[in-house]
Amino acid sequence: MSNIWKPKSYKLLTAEQRTEKLKKDAAYEIAVQNLSMAYYQKKRTVGVTAQEDTEYQSAKTNLWNDHVEWSTVNGLYEEVTITEQISNMEQTINETLANLNTLKVEAGQKELELKEKV
């Protein structure tokens, strides 16, 4: 597993980033809808070939990749290191375990304990 990119929280974006994000998101949605409407209209009426299906999927993927690339370049995504990913997952597991054990105690059941492998 390597570093990943994830969208920044909307509330952490500047006012300018928010405005640009909304414009770009809307443009992306319109482009996907236009691409999809023509494709699905043809698919319903006369059918599409495997080549046309592949071209549609490729065009849709390209739209998404361009959108993510623009978002990354414009600071709307943040890089998350492997160490941060591990820390976030451990925190989630610990919170979930605490909630589970609260329920188990209420139900009169034995609590669950996690141990790291050596």
Q: Could you tell me what percent of the chain has a pLDDT over 70?
A: 99
| C-alpha distance from residue 35 to each of 14, 53, 59, 65, 67 (Å) | 31, 12, 8, 15, 15
Helices assigned H by DSSP within the chain = 15-45, 50-73, 82-106
Confidence of residue 1 (pLDDT cuts 50, 70, 90): low
Confidence of residue 116 (pLDDT cuts 50, 70, 90): confident
Tokens standing for residue 60: 């849709």
Domain ranges of the chain: 4-80, 84-118
Convert the pLDDT of each residue in 76-96 to its tens digit: 999 999 999 999 999 999 999
